[in-house]
Every structure is written in structure tokens, then in C-alpha cells.
Chains A and B, each alone.
Chain A
Amino acid sequence: MKIAVCIKRVPDMETRFKIAASGTAVDEAGLKYDMSDFDGYAVETALQLNEKQGPGETVVISLGPDVVQEQLRKALSMGADRAVQLKADRVPTDGLSIAGALAAELKDGGYDLIFFGRQAVDSANATVGPMTAELLGLPCATAVSTLDIANGRGTARRDLEGAAEIVEFALPAVVTIDEGMPRARYPSLKGIMAAKKKPLEVKPAQLGAESLTLEKMELPPERAAGRIVGEGPGAVPELVRLLHTEAKVL
């Protein structure tokens, strides 16, 4: 099968973030970057499908400046066959603008499946996958935690809060991948060497119009320090009183 996986470069989420002087971006000084976690699951899912179902092609696509080539090469070192960078100075805030560029790249690609992560772990919009599907006129299964492909149809399980849904769709289709899928493999050292020789094509991104702009970023308010109300059983009545009157959780 021919599978496209759209991946995003995101900062390491364990970092303590600062907001840049512009007020509309994260301060990049000292940040480390990686492929968004869910996108890693998506690459792994594509590789396993093609490994199981015989000859196929896994193509990874990322939109952004040249630094995204690092994440594309990571996907190549995991085993993807080729990569496409849709070159843009920056990644737009508006998911529809990104989806426009992806749809333009994907529409004549002859893909059986187009994978996304459920959402990017930094912006957490979860919009680009469904919007791309819409622009391509394809069925879209979101936040999928298991996926079976047989006879030109897909069956996917979506784990919801306290329940699950099983959905079925015809290929070609767009699927956004959630946890539950196998974790991304480590790129082997031979894979890292092989990635250098795999094709990585750079094309200008045909971004759609931007109708949503980022105005301002704020850090969450500092949490006040905890308070010890006393020790031993004697402190319980006071604790219960505070949970009623102050925290209002009882």
C-alpha cells in the first residue's frame, strides 16, 4: 500500500517553556526538538502495515522551514522510503492553511492511506488531519487506537472516555492515530546511515489563506505553594472544613 504520514516537528515537552519577546511564540533558545509523539505512532503504524502486507511505500511529509528535515530523516531512519518537505518560513497557526498545502501535495499522490498523529503535542489543535480529509473529499477516522485493513476497507477502534467506537470506511482514507498503536521503534544505527541515501524532496508549500492568527501566548499562573494544616488525626476536621469552604471539592 502507498501510505503518506504527515509529521510535525515539536519542542521536547519536558522543557520548561518561556515565551519569546514577540509574545506570540515560544522562546527557542536551548530547546530540543523531536517528532510529535502521536506522529511517531503514525509512522510506526504505516511501517508495520507495509511490513505485514507486502510491498508498499511509506512517504513522510512535513511542512516548515529546513529544520523539519531532521524529523523527516528520523522517519527515514525508522524505515520510511522517502520524504517530502513542504517548505514554508514558519508553520501557520491556522490548521486550514496547513491542510491546504498538504491536500495540494497529497491529491494526485495515489495514496491508499494518509496518516496523521491524533494531534500535535505542542499546539494540540487536532484540526489538520480532518481538514485535509475534507479538502480531499476522503473519509476520516480520528483518534484511532487499533486499525485493520482488508479488501480495500479499514476498520478502526476509537477509544473514548468510558466507551469505544468501531468505525468502518473505504480506502483511500485519512486516519489520525492515537496511543494504543505500537510505539515508535528506535531508529537503528544502520537505519540512521541508510536514511542519508534516501530521497528527501523539497517543494514550496502551497499554503491556503490564513484566517486565524495567534495574538498572544500566556503561561499558566504560578501555582501557590501547598499548605500543611496540621499532623495526625487531629488535623482531619480542619482539612475537611477547608476542602468544603476553600477548595470547594466536597
Chain B
Amino acid sequence: MQDLFDIDSALSEEERAVRASVRQFVDERILPIIGDCYIEGRFPKEIIPGLAELGVLGANLPEEYGCAGLNNVAYGLIMQELERGDSGIRSFASVQGALVMYPIFAFGSEEQKKEYLPKMAAGEIIGCFGLTESDYGSNPSGMITMANEQADGSWVLNGGKMWITNGSQAKIAIVWAKTNGDPSDKSIRGFIVPTNTPGFTAKDQKGKLSLRASDTSELVFQDVRLPKDAILPKSGGIKSPLMCLTQARYGISWGVIGAAMACYEEALDYSKSRVMFGKAIGGFQLQQQRLAIMLTEIVKAQLVSLHLGRLKDSGKFTPQQVSFAKRNNCDIATNVAREARRLLGANGILAEYGAMRHMANLESVYTYEGTHDIHTLILGQAVTGLSAFT
């Protein structure tokens, strides 16, 4: 996409090089198959070894654990490029990196980090993240999944989780549960649960009209026995999973820009080649206004995420800033995708073009990891000092 605002000048050579590699991967390995995957309702597992070899899984975690050790802006650009392919592919990488590798890195023991992180970076172990429950989405503190410690120090886990990306293909699940019968959200701890443990079941969620190239499951735990060392020792309270979500939401704020860029570029190309009333439709004022608004919103979103990335790299970013970026960028991306689809006219409803696929995907992204409404309330609370949650 034409860099009208010269944002590239604010990126380092290394950041541009990372983007170029991932962009080439997406162009060559994802774009040719993604339309079919979407129609078939299939996550393209075959790209996992390529993604791992490229180094995108947990790319901002340190090299000593087999990761690429990139800064957060480079990580954001990876998310942008992956979602230029499809939100489902970016979701896969977000979950693996920000929601499974990150909590092991942040709350795990040294043994857990050494055991899991290199294999997860290599794509040999895929993970999923279990926080949301069917009755507790925006309010995760209300969860009812419970882990009880046994006399020998082992744990028994009961409950269930819903809307779990990668759930059916994961070898391990990071499950968040209240502990020892305590209903307070302070008792919440994280557990590494191998998905082949007896009593653990994952079931594909059928009938999705969005994120069709992504694996979404329901998890059920029935007397799942876990060894003593399954717990993430440094996790404690609802704050721990929320820290993971802050990481993932940061990546989402970049990712959706990629989806919007794909839609904008497709619409721009189409506007220059589609002839109606004897001239290219890009020559009509209404389409130019569409394109100008799309471009403006994309550039603003890029600047928000880039600044947020620099703040994150300097260790100064806040969850409220992440809410700002996630909320704004998902919102503009859904609008850009819809306007692109409309510019494409009847062709815009075909899978041959990306706009409607992105548009349908972005409805999920708008909703997951803190709905648009919840982020609105977080911002409202940040500026007024008054909570409107309850």
C-alpha cells in the first residue's frame, strides 16, 4: 500500500525487513489458499511449520527460549501482515504467542519455560488459552471452573471453557481456574493442561459465519487430574489472565490494520479497473470519498499502534492505552472492510475477493478480547474515574 504519510521513515531497517519477510510469506503461502480454507471452514495446519521456521511464534520473547527476540513494533508488524492474509491466521499466532507462550514466560517456572517455549516457537507444541466461559465473557471474574488441591499436592480440575481458538488442535491448554473452593477472583490461578489428560475434551464449535479459517472449540474438564507442577507458580488473581489479554490486544490493534489494508488495496485496484458509465469507477467522487476515508482511518490506526509499540518497548504502556488502540482500530477496520465490500459491488460478496471474508472475520475481532463496548467503558473509567461496569 502506498505510504502516503511516510510512516516507513519511523520504522527501523530491521523492522522493515521483518515486515518484508512476513509479507512475502503471506503473499506466497497464505493468500493463494485462504479463500478455499474459508469456504471449507478449515484452518490451514500445513502452514504451521513455515510460520515456525520464519520465526513468528512468540517472536517478541527472548532468544534464550528459542524465540526471535524482536521488539514490540516488529512483533506488531508481523501481526499486521498475518491479518492482511486472514484474521484466523493472525488469531492462531496471537494465541500461541501472547496467550500461551507469554503466560508461561511471565508466570512459569524456569523448568516450564525450558520445557515448553522452544517447542512452541518451533511449532511442535500448539497451545490454547482457556479463560472465557459460556456465561462469563466480559466478566471473567465470575468464572466457575475450579481446581482443588489434593493431599499429595496434585490438582483436580472441573468446569468448562468456550470460544477457545486452537482448542481442537492444541497439545496444551493454559486453563484459568478458581482454586480450593474460593469463589473470589483472587483465587484464580493458571494451569498448563496437556490436552490428552483423561477427562479433558475439546469439541469444535460448528456453524461459524466468521473466522471460518480458524479452529474454535469448547473445552470440558471432568475430574482432570494434574500434577503438582502443572500450576503456573507466579500466577495469582484475575490480574494474571488480564495481563495476557493486554499482550494479545496489543497485537490485535496491529493485526486489524492488516485486514483493513488488504481491503483498501483491493478496493483501490478494483476502482481503477472497473468501468461503469464509460469510465473507471475510481474517477467518481463517491468512490474517491470512500477511498480517502479508508486511507485516512488506516493511517491514523497505524500511527496509534506504532506509538503504542514504542511505549511498550520503553516499558511505559498502560492497559488503558491498549484498550484505546484495540477499540479504535477494530472499529475502523470493520468500517473499512464494509466500505471496500460495497465499492466492489456485486463482486464484493464473492470469496474470490477478500473484502467480505475480512468483514465477517472482523466482527469476531471486534467482539473478542474485550468487546468494543467493554473497551469503551475502560476508557470511560480512565477519564472520569467512575466505573460503569456494574
Contacts and interface: CB of A to CB of B under 8 A. Distances in A.
B76 to A, nearest CB: 13
Interface string B68-87: 11100010001000000000
Interface string B1-28: 0110000000001100110110011000
Interface string A74-96: 10010000000000000000000
Interface stretch (A117-125, A184-192, A233-241): A184-192
B53 interface: yes
A186 B14 contact: no
A189 B19 CA distance: 9
A202 B328 CA distance: 46
Contacts of B56: 189
Interface in B5-61: 13-14, 17-18, 20-21, 24-25, 53-56, 59
The main secondary structure of chain A at its interface with chain B is helix
Interface in A27-74: 30, 70, 73-74
A196 B68 contact: no
Nearest to B13: A70
B115 interface: no
A196 to B, nearest CB: 7
A193 interface: yes
Contact of B70 (A30, A77, A186, A189): A189
B124 interface: no
Contacts, number: 45
B135 interface: no
A186 B24 contact: yes
A192 B21 contact: yes
A74 B55 CA distance: 16
Contacts of A73: 13, 17
Given A70-B13, A73-B13, A189 B18 contact: yes
B63 interface: yes
A77 B14 CA distance: 10
Contacts of A190: 55, 63, 68-69
Nearest to A69: B13
A187 B21 contact: yes
Interface in B61-120: 63, 68-70, 74, 78
Chain A to chain B: the 3 pairs with minimum beta-carbon distance, closest first: A189-B55, A189-B68, A186-B21
27 contacts: A30-B2, A30-B3, A70-B13, A73-B13, A77-B17, A186-B24, A186-B54, A187-B17, A187-B21, A188-B21, A188-B53, A188-B55, A188-B68, A189-B18, A189-B21, A189-B54, A189-B56, A189-B68, A189-B70, A189-B74, A190-B55, A190-B68, A192-B17, A192-B21, A193-B68, A193-B69, A193-B70
